[in-house]
Structure 1
Amino acid sequence: VSSERRKEKGKESEVFYELAHQLPLPHNVTSHLDKASIMRLTISYLRMRKMLSP
C-alpha cells in the first residue's frame, strides 16, 4: 500500500472514530465498532431524531 493511500485510510479512520463518538452510546461501545456498524448506527440515530422532531 502506498504512503498516500495509507494516509488517506488514516484520515478516513479518524473521521469514523470521530463520528462514532458523537453517537449517544458509551465510549466502551463506540470504541469497538467497525466502519459499517458506525454508519448503520448513525443512520438509525438520524432517522430516529427526524421522527421525534416536531
Structure 2
Amino acid sequence: MALGLQRARSTTELRKEKSRDAARSRRSQETEVLYQLAHTLPFARGVSAHLDKASIMRLTISYLRMHRLCAAAGAHRTQHL
C-alpha cells in the first residue's frame, strides 16, 4: 500500500512540475510577443523598452483606435471632395 501511495505522490509531483514548466513557457512566450508589440508602436525605442505589459496593451489599444479614427476621417473627407 505504501508503494502505491508513493507512486501516486510521484505522479502528482511530476504532473505539477510539468504544469509549472508549461505555465513558465507560456508566460515567456506572452512576454516576448508583448515586447515585440511594444517595439512596433510609434514611440522611441527607449520609451517602448521600459513599458510594462499593461501599458503596452493600453497604448496598443489607443493606437489602434486612433488609427481607425484617422482612417474614418480620411475616408469621410475624401467623400466630400
Same fold (TM over 0.5): yes
Match of 2:31 in 1: 13
Give the 4+ runs in structure 1 shifted more than 6 A.
none
Normalising by the residue count of structure 1, what TM-score does the alignment of the two structures yield?
Answer: 0.92
Match of 1:41 in 2: 59
Match of 1:25 in 2: 43
Compute the RMSD of aligned alpha carbons.
Answer: 1.2
**Aligned-residue offset at 1:4:** 1.4
Q: Distance in 2 between matches of 1:22 and 1:30?
A: 9
* Structure 1 unmatched ranges of 5 or more: none
Percent identical residues = 52
Q: Distance in 2 between matches of 1:18 and 1:28?
A: 14
Count residues with an aligned counterpart. Answer: 54
Letter in 2 for 1:31: A
* Structure 2 unmatched ranges of 5 or more: 1-16, 76-81
Normalising by the residue count of structure 2, what TM-score does the alignment of the two structures yield?
Answer: 0.63
Which is bigger in relative contact order (C-alpha 8 A, separation at least 6)? 1
Greater helix share, 1 or 2?
2
Q: Distance in 2 between matches of 1:4 and 1:39?
A: 23
